[in-house]
Structure 1
């Protein structure tokens, strides 16, 4: 705009980032009292969060690229972007930019291209993802994220509600009631960051767990995990900042280290469920050269002090998970965190168990 006396000057300025401007008051040394002026500069007029895109809006956005270049995004690709991002604006644009400008894909863009781009973004710790990861050590963020990962009940006091609102404003959770991580990409980033320490302890060669026919040897991996748990579990739990979710984080990091490269590890978790679901997807060649997909489902439970054995509930929950995946068998892992647990050198016992519907599954107690 043209200001008085002809001097050009902005009429308004938008500051865009992960923080509400009021948080910079605290960062600059001001008091944390939210009733005082909202910023050290006293200039905040409004604080807005860019809404997530719908699937139709993503399709419309990507169609603009098609109109400009002639390159199309398949419907499966658009659907996969929405599934992975839940419409988070930065992620929607970052995936498309990664595919078209950095990967330089030609021809129609497919869902497989989207998966490759997702993995590249996470590995590169793109700026936005790296900033989110850095927030995990913020006490307010940890207080909300830890029970989500651990599947524990959330806090009930008023200060917890304020923390939930703060984490929601950061975009880490979907809403302030369900307390679920906002999208699958964030879910994976959070757990990879939290599992970094564990992955550094894993020395096993991922190629040694591939069977002669190309399938993934899950049982051998679990046997290797028992050895790893006996040797490093106690130390890693003590070092883990997210102490209540330590068991889940350690096993997921171990599996990710051995699955990544030849397959994918999907994780599902939410506050209050007292469980964590995992699905290993492993691609391997069939007898005629076609690509086949191996799927292995796992359920994680923790036996905490003062609680009863979670195995019966775990078998029921695993049954439902297998129903949803249309699989005949799976694995239930029960971590014992009670003081009455066996000595570390003796932990790790395999059993065969049956789910309520009669499925035969593997039970691992560690």
Structure 2
């Protein structure tokens, strides 16, 4: 991997390699862009096939966080960290505290959070060494489980997409197919049920399906059948790359709006959706509620304030549709353009993030 060539291609600011022999720490911190503020993004712990794969994953995810934060209207940049190791057996107090000291050494340029393979308990250990961490235990001022907040944001974004497709954001009587009924999607189903929507659900975990059927009167279908059901809205809330060559021709929905990350396997699938006349709600715009929620912890967490900010996902989604119309481009490209335009506007007045000595994180 030609690292500097990759950094230059997407204009990354910094790549940090962290090593501690005593704890066995091998970590990578990638900071993509701090034009809007400090880089915030979770720490992933994973058994990568190679160090190069770990670096590439950190870089790719960091860039995604820049766009997600910018599109959400947050004063944050994009960053991400990965720890090379098996989260089932390689965790230790000394490993996470060592990693916390590396984060502290960046003096606020990077703020971490939970991600795949890490937990609240891990964030609490990091917190012993630095204040630049979110998603800690509620006793330390966190917002707790972010799933209901993420679900509320998806619900708001779905209503905006429905307005685009049907002329009204009223979901009462609409049939919504939900793929995956985990913590976020279960809470999404609750919002949809309360508004009077008809739910069709599937999940690889049968208990999740049964809970949705019992609590919301949902209809259960097979994992492969969810794509072809008659519905108004398809809500992918499980795996990424779910809109692909095998599934796209099966869809009967007029709207795709769900919580899953990286829903399009390739960009050309976003183009195909546009050609089919399906309204697509770009994933990193609609599922930004979790990021908004942890970002609020930087100001001493206030749930009402966080939820009020999450409500604006509705307006952010309408703005994406306006840009799509203005520039005659698919919505997945319009979301990128919305984020890039905001960064460009603020870049004219400030460059890279500099730590404020009076930051609330240091009080």
- Is the shorter-chain TM-score for this pair beyond 0.5, marking a shared fold? no
Q: Higher RCO, 1 or 2 (CA under 8 Å, sep at least 6)?
A: 2
Q: Could you say which structure has the larger radius of gyration?
A: 1
How high is the TM-score relative to the length of structure 1?
0.23
How high is the TM-score relative to the length of structure 2?
0.24
